[in-house]
Amino acid sequence: MTDGSTVRIFIVDDHPIVREGLTQLINREPDLEVCGEASDAATALRAIGKLKPDVAVVDISLGGMSGLQLVKQITAPPNKVAALVLSMHDERVYAERALHAGAQGYIMKQQATKKMVAAIRRVVAGDVYLSEQLTARMMHKLVRGKSAAPASPVEALTDRELEVFELVGKGYKAGQIGEQLHLSVKTVETYREHIKNKLDLADATELTRHAIEWVHGERGE
């Protein structure tokens, strides 16, 4: 925005403390204001359609529809909102997925206090915001070509497989995963099989253990 008007920002995160902290941080800037917030994707989608913010700050892990699915919807017509993904998840696994979904930036929650305002300004200017480390990694990947192997086997999972994998690591059973992602139990089991094959895991027990370890590692536990 170049006309000097206030940039309106919508926050989507399932943690009230995170939303409150981001609101305080953003509202300290004279040209930025938080115009609304939501704890889940469905509520966010309805509110964004009405409020029409300039930027949406979206967490990936949300109840029901994932943050990535939400980004795909709000960045497409008729909304066409600029999206900045904020997440605790490893940027090596999720950042490229977020960009492919339509986001213009990815910022780790650990960096939010220092980097959020700069990231918002970058996105508003029409540029892409990524950490220096990730930018260098993506450039290196571009030079090596698409045939280069992923740094982690988890990176080879599709977006939906990664959602299922994360929910397995959080202790969800197949039926619960189906309810969360609006999938049949049979479809969930098919995804579980694909994940086991891609990660070279022997059985369901090994899949569960691996998923739990990954989720705990993502959270820094």
Predicted confidence (pLDDT) per residue in 197-216, tens digit: 999 999 999 999 999 988 87
Residue 2 lies in a domain: no
| Residues 110 and 42 grouped into a single domain | yes
Residue 148 lies in a domain: no
Residues 198, 187: Cα–Cα separation, whole Å: 17
More confident residue, 7 or 3: 7
| Residues 17 and 44 grouped into a single domain | yes
| Residues 35 and 131 grouped into a single domain | yes
Picking from 110, 140, 170, the residue at the C-terminal end of a domain is 140
Residues 82, 174: Cα–Cα separation, whole Å: 34
What is the domain-level CATH number for residue 182? 1.10.10.10
pLDDT band at 153 (very low <50, low <70, confident <90, very high): confident
| Residues 169 and 132 grouped into a single domain | no
Picking from 140, 162, 194, the residue at the C-terminal end of a domain is 140
| Residues 121 and 167 grouped into a single domain | no
| Residues 125 and 16 grouped into a single domain | yes
Residue 207 lies in a domain: yes
The percentage of the chain sitting over the pLDDT mark of 70, rounded to a whole number, equals: 90
Q: At what angle do helices 91-101 and 132-144 cross, to 10 degrees?
A: 80
**Is 16:38 a contact under the CB 8 Å cutoff?**
no
Query: Which of 148-152, 160-164, 174-178 is predicted with the least confidence, judged by mean pLDDT?
Result: 148-152
| Residues 31 and 122 grouped into a single domain | yes
Contacts 24+ apart (CB under 8 A), 104-113: 104/128, 104/129, 105/129, 105/130, 106/130, 106/131, 106/134, 107/131, 109/18, 112/21, 112/22, 112/25, 112/86, 113/21, 113/25
| Residues 101 and 15 grouped into a single domain | yes
Residue 146 lies in a domain: no
So what's the pLDDT on residue 3?
57
pTM over 0.85: no
| Residues 134 and 174 grouped into a single domain | no
| Residues 23 and 128 grouped into a single domain | yes
Picking from 88, 113, 140, the residue at the C-terminal end of a domain is 140
Which amino acid makes up residue 122? Answer: R
**1 by DSSP, 3-state: which?**
coil
| Residues 133 and 163 grouped into a single domain | no
How many domains is the chain partitioned into structurally? 2
Peptide bond into 150 cis (omega under 30): no
Full domain range(s) for residue 61:
7-140
Read off φ and ψ for residue 105, nearest 5 degrees.
-170, 160
So what's the pLDDT on residue 221?
43
Q: Read off the pLDDT of residues 16-35 as tens digits, 9 standing for 90 and up.
A: 999 999 999 999 999 999 99
Residue 164 lies in a domain: yes
What is the domain-level CATH number for residue 107? 3.40.50.2300
| Residues 123 and 57 grouped into a single domain | yes
**Is 10:35 a contact under the CB 8 Å cutoff?**
yes
